[in-house]
Amino acid sequence: MDIDAFLSRLDSHRRAGRVDDATFSRVAEHERSEKNDAPTSIVIENGSAVSGADLESTGEGSQLAANSKRFSLGVAAAIGSTLILVGIGLLASLVDDATDLDLVIPLFGLLAGLAYFAPNLKVEGRAEVFVGEARSVLFGVASMVAVMWYITVIVDKPWDEDFGPLNMFAWGPTLAVAFAAVGFARKMNAWVSYCLTWILWFYPFVFALEAGSGEFYGIAVIMAVLSYAMVSEYLDEKRTAGSGVQAAFLGMMWGIMAWFTLEEFDDLINNDVVLPLAYILGWMAVVEAAGRYTTLLT
């Protein structure tokens, strides 16, 4: 019998009064010491012993197989979620053609709300992976579709005009959706969403580039939020090994944004307020660093 199962049954006898606490403690201590001192089992097959390295490689192979199955389930869930999204879009289109009633935002907003606020189903194993992946994909894509439909169709924002200062009313909502989708994918431990959520960051990024002026400031805000998402993921004590994939893709997106900001530095250089302030802050940083360096030398 497994030691943990044995101790669990023995603990039930202790709670029932058939075994006293002292006896239970001695038996538990003895069993745990026996478990720690037990030698590694050697499997003999066809007259040859299986080494510890073989056992370790077998364990790694089993882990790789489990990860492959998990990712395959995630792909299947993503495909199923895509079909649901396409079906909702076709339904909204049919209703619009028949009644001239636009239901894109209500339908996709409702779908995103159900995916996010749905109670956690008591599922385990493959079902848990499938449900978590599907909820993550549905929430991220449906939310972005609803927001983009409002900006491009309801408001009908021209591409050559700003929607608010620095075009922030365009990239602000899409930035909020992208940030929420990243956090929700991490909560659901959705591996496929880890690989895809970085795409959502293109929407606020493009809207920031389309601003008539001040593109640098909009991109700087988006990069700051993206940096916060990556740092908070790294500092999260409950993060899983798969979250490193998401961090890698988000880092790639951060690099793309940083490259484009090189062309927008004229907004910073030609600004009569920001540039002097940057010089002052730089001077203060140099003085502080020089003071600390001098203190260390003395």
Q: Which residues contact 133 (CB under 8 A, 6 or more apart)?
A: 73, 74, 77, 78, 81, 188, 190, 191, 192, 193
User: pLDDT tens digit string along 112-149?
Assistant: 999 888 766 666 777 778 888 888 899 999 999 999 99
Q: Are 131 and 123 in contact (CB under 8 A)?
A: yes
Stretch 258-277: mean pLDDT:
70
pLDDT at 55 over 50: no
Q: Which pLDDT belongs to residue 32?
A: 72
Q: Name the burial class of residue 193, with classes exposed (0-12), middle (13-18) and buried (19+) by CB atoms within 10 angstroms of its CB.
A: buried
Q: Which pLDDT belongs to residue 130?
A: 84
Residue of 141, 209, 204 lying closest to 173 (CA atoms)? 204
Q: Which pLDDT belongs to residue 91?
A: 93
Buried b (16+ CB within 10 A) or exposed e, 217-231: bbbbbbbebbeebbe
**Which residue would you say has higher pLDDT here, 65 or 140?**
140
Per-residue pLDDT band for 49 (boundaries 50, 70, 90) equals: very low
CA–CA distance, 213 with 167 (Å, rounded to integer): 9
Per-residue pLDDT band for 8 (boundaries 50, 70, 90) equals: confident
Q: Which pLDDT belongs to residue 118?
A: 78
Q: Which pLDDT belongs to residue 295?
A: 65
DSSP-assigned beta bridge partners for residue 44: 49
Q: Are 138 and 130 in contact (CB under 8 A)?
A: no
Phi/psi of residue 187, nearest 5 degrees? -65, -40
- The long-range contacts involving 278-287, CB below 8 angstroms and separated by at least 24 positions, are none
Q: Express as a percent the part of the chain with pLDDT over 90.
A: 16
Q: Which pLDDT belongs to residue 217?
A: 80
Average pLDDT of the residues of the chain: 78
Q: Are 139 and 176 in contact (CB under 8 A)?
A: no
Task: Provide the sign of the torsion angle of the four alpha carbons 155, 159, 163, 169, taken in this order.
Answer: positive
Q: Which pLDDT belongs to residue 64?
A: 76
Q: Are 10 and 24 in contact (CB under 8 A)?
A: yes
User: pLDDT tens digit string along 67-101?
Assistant: 778 778 878 888 998 999 999 999 999 998 888 88
According to the per-residue pLDDT averaged within each range, which of 10-19, 61-70, 184-193, 287-296 is highest?
184-193
6-15, 183-192, 254-263, range with the lowest pLDDT: 6-15
Q: Which pLDDT belongs to residue 2?
A: 66
Phi/psi of residue 49, nearest 5 degrees? -85, 140
pLDDT at 38 over 70: no
Coil, helix or strand for 265? coil
Per-residue pLDDT band for 15 (boundaries 50, 70, 90) equals: confident
User: pLDDT tens digit string along 175-221?
Assistant: 999 999 988 888 888 878 878 888 999 999 888 888 767 777 888 88
pLDDT at 6 over 80: no
Residue of 186, 207, 204 lying closest to 195 (CA atoms)? 186
CA–CA distance, 111 with 221 (Å, rounded to integer): 29
